[in-house]
């Protein structure tokens, strides 16, 4: 397949966790500035174009590239979130993916459920995920060196192969006093009255070789629209059965992989690794996943629900494309407040954040930051507040060893985390947010 590449954040925050939202809730739908605006603050916008206009051999000598590297290092050490422009992804690729995603979520419920996600299969359709069931729950990890069980970072991440989210605690856990842990850069949210499914539906897919041919919804479902689908014995066909949906998904997935590789080159330089391509043999058989997300229109404000409850992602990095609806918020650990990540006025920006595996890799030097999606506070008659986004969860190879970088170790050479194998780590998390 040829991929065209061009060179160049529900309930209201007050009721969920009683933390201040930095910008006024009525501003959720306003757009963020393009790079260079004086109003740009907590979540910066970085221009990736020097990585495309500079020969690889000259990256370390390029003043523009090194300026980008310095900005990236500061951003990762403080917030772990940024928006990017100059990323080289053609707008048509994004538009096609959003159009096909909308086509899928507009299908009848029974049609979408022909390709269900299950506790043992982290792909397909789901609409009952409860992100508030995993985060800050104690994780038991065996140290392979000492062969004993240790209470580590209270990381509990759901849906492993999607590289998706680590979420807030169970109700019981939320009632307990917060304890200091290795990942205590964010306080847990206040007690939730009742864990309810987030107000969203998703479809996860992967192009990893272990899952090929990947099973997508039947082509007839898209052709029939609101009509019922075909027979139960033929409820799913392989990837080739729906070329338009397949092509949009494949093209988007592959373009995100190319973008992720460019970002890893910047990461390698920011971490002072010995080679700009240091990460490549850790991701050449990456088990990444793409998640299509639909947040249905709300006829009235629902103050006790979130579109996506507070969580962190758990892979290497996440590349998110959001529409102009708004609602994404990032937790500012310094002010103990929520910051709106407004859709860029440039129209072509992606939101990028690192996940927990990268934070482990850097010994907590880089931040895997808590984020959420809030419901629109203002319901306007005859104005849709439906929200769509697409998240690419970039994960390492299944057998990649995640061990602290030498440059990120403590002064005595110690680390906060034991070595983990990426695939085992991710698969151990699946089902946390998808089981009762």
**What confidence tens digit (pLDDT) does each residue in 169-219 have?**
332 333 333 333 443 344 444 444 556 788 999 999 999 888 877 777 777
Identify the pLDDT of residue 321. Answer: 98
pLDDT 10s digits, 343-380: 887 778 999 999 999 999 999 999 999 999 999 888 88
Residue 231 scores a pLDDT above 70: no
- Phi first, then psi: what are they for 244, rounded to 5°? -65, -45
On whether residue 232 sits in a domain, the answer given is: no
Which residues make beta-bridge pairs with 295? 387
Average pLDDT over residues 400-428: 91
Q: Which residues of 208-243 are buried (b: 16+ CB within 10 A; e: fewer)?
A: beebeebbbbbbbbbeeeeeebeeeeebebebebbe
Identify the pLDDT of residue 92. Answer: 94
DSSP letter at 11?
Answer: B
Identify the pLDDT of residue 434. Answer: 55
Identify the pLDDT of residue 74. Answer: 97
- CA dist 426 and 400 (Å) reads 11
Residue 232 scores a pLDDT above 50: no
Identify the pLDDT of residue 209. Answer: 82
- CA dist 282 and 383 (Å) reads 46
pLDDT 10s digits, 292-329: 999 999 988 887 789 998 989 989 999 999 999 999 99
Angle at 394 between CA 390 and CA 398, to 5 degrees: 135
- CA dist 49 and 65 (Å) reads 9
Identify the pLDDT of residue 282. Answer: 96
Residues above pLDDT 90, as percent of the chain: 50
Identify the pLDDT of residue 194. Answer: 56
Q: Report the number of distinct structural domains present in the chain.
A: 1
Give the chain's count of helices (H) and strands (E). 11, 20
Identify the pLDDT of residue 131. Answer: 57
Average pLDDT over residues 93-104: 94
Q: Across the chain, what does the average pLDDT equal?
A: 76
Identify the pLDDT of residue 350. Answer: 98
429: its two tokens = 């998390």
Look up the domain containing 365 and give its range: 13-205+241-427
On whether residue 213 sits in a domain, the answer given is: no
On whether residue 389 sits in a domain, the answer given is: yes
- Phi first, then psi: what are they for 227, rounded to 5°? -70, 160
Count Cβ atoms below 10 Å from residue 302 Cβ, excluding itself.
17
> Is the C-alpha dihedral spanning 79, 249, 212, 167 positive or negative?
positive
Whose structure tokens read 């772990």?
80
DSSP letter at 191?
Answer: P
Residue 392 contacts residue 318 (beta carbons within 8 Å): yes
DSSP letter at 357?
Answer: H
On whether residue 270 sits in a domain, the answer given is: yes
Between the CA atoms of 273, 277, 281 and 282, what dihedral angle is there, to the nearest 10 degrees? 50
- CA dist 325 and 60 (Å) reads 39
Q: Which helix (H) or strand (E) holds 72?
A: helix 63-78
Identify each DSSP E strand in 154-235 by its residue range. Answer: 165-166, 201-205, 215-217
- CA dist 219 and 237 (Å) reads 8
Residue 195 contacts residue 170 (beta carbons within 8 Å): yes
Total count of residues recorded for the chain: 436
Residue 333 scores a pLDDT above 80: yes
On whether residue 295 sits in a domain, the answer given is: yes
Reported confidence tier of residue 153, pLDDT bands at 50, 70, 90: very low
Average pLDDT over residues 58-83: 97
**CA distance between the termini of the chain:** 41
- CA dist 32 and 37 (Å) reads 9
Out of 121-125, 326-330, 359-363, 404-408, least confident range: 121-125
Instruction: Let me know if 36 is exposed, middle or buried by CB neighbors in 10 A (0-12, 13-18, 19+).
Output: exposed
Residue 397 scores a pLDDT above 50: yes
Q: Which helix (H) or strand (E) holds 295?
A: strand 289-295
Q: Which residue has the higher pLDDT, 239 or 385?
A: 385
Identify the pLDDT of residue 303. Answer: 76
On whether residue 287 sits in a domain, the answer given is: yes
* CATH code: domain of residue 79: 2.60.120.330
DSSP letter at 21?
Answer: E
Residue 397 contacts residue 287 (beta carbons within 8 Å): yes
292: its two tokens = 């299509």
On whether residue 222 sits in a domain, the answer given is: no
Identify the pLDDT of residue 435. Answer: 55
Q: Is the pTM of this model over 0.85?
A: no
Identify the pLDDT of residue 237. Answer: 35
Identify the pLDDT of residue 186. Answer: 41
Identify the pLDDT of residue 243. Answer: 54
Residue 213 contacts residue 239 (beta carbons within 8 Å): yes
Residue 213: cis peptide before it, omega within 30 degrees of 0: yes
Under DSSP, is residue 425 helix (H, G, I), strand (E, B) or coil? helix
- CA dist 293 and 317 (Å) reads 18
Identify the pLDDT of residue 168. Answer: 41
Whose structure tokens read 């850790």?
282
Reported confidence tier of residue 431, pLDDT bands at 50, 70, 90: low
| Number of Cα atoms under 13 Å in the Cβ half of residue 233 | 0
On whether residue 436 sits in a domain, the answer given is: no
């Amino acid at each position: 397949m040829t991929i065209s590449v061009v060179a160049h954040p529900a309930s209201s925050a007050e009721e969920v966790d009683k933390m201040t939202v930095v910008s006024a809730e009525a501003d959720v739908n306003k757009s963020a500035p393009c790079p260079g605006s004086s109003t740009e603050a907590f979540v910066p916008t970085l221009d990736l174009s020097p990585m495309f206009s500079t020969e690889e051999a000259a990256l370390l000598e390029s003043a523009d590239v090194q300026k980008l590297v310095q900005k990236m290092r500061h951003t990762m050490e403080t917030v772990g979130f940024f928006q990017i422009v100059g990323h080289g992804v053609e707008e048509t690729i994004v538009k096609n993916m959003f159009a096909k995603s909308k086509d899928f979520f507009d299908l009848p419920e029974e049609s979408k459920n022909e390709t269900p996600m299950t506790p043992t299969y982290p792909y397909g359709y789901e609409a009952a995920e409860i992100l508030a069931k995993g985060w800050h729950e104690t994780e038991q990890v065996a140290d392979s060196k000492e062969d004993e069980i240790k209470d580590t970072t209270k990381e509990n991440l759901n849906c492993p192969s999607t590289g998706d989210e680590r979420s807030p605690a169970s109700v019981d856990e939320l009632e307990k006093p917060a304890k200091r842990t290795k990942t205590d850069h964010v306080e847990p949210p206040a007690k939730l009255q009742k864990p309810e499914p987030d107000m969203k539906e998703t479809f996860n897919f992967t192009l990893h070789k272990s899952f090929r041919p990947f099973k997508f919804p039947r082509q007839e479902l898209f052709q029939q629209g609101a009509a019922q689908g075909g027979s139960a014995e033929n409820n799913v066909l392989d990837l080739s059965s729906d070329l338009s949906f397949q092509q949009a998904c494949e093209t988007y997935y592959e373009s995100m992989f190319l973008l992720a590789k460019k970002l890893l080159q910047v990461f390698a330089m920011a971490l002072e690794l010995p080679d700009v391509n240091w990460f490549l043999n850790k991701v050449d058989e990456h088990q990444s996943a793409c998640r299509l997300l639909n947040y249905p229109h709300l006829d009235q404000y629902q103050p006790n629900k979130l579109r996506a409850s507070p969580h962190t992602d758990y892979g290497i990095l996440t590349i998110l494309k959001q529409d102009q609806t708004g609602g994404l918020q990032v937790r500012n650990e310094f002010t103990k407040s929520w910051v709106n990540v407004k859709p860029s006025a440039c129209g072509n920006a992606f939101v990028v954040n690192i996940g927990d595996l990268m934070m482990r890799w850097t010994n907590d030097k880089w931040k895997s930051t808590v984020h959420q999606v809030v419901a629109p506070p203002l319901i306007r008659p005859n104005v849709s507040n439906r929200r769509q986004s697409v998240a690419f969860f970039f994960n390492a190879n299944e057998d990649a060893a995640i061990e602290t970088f030498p440059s990120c170790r403590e002064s005595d050479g110690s680390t906060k985390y034991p070595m983990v194998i990426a695939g085992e780590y991710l698969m151990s998390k699946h089902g946390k947010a998808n089981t009762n």
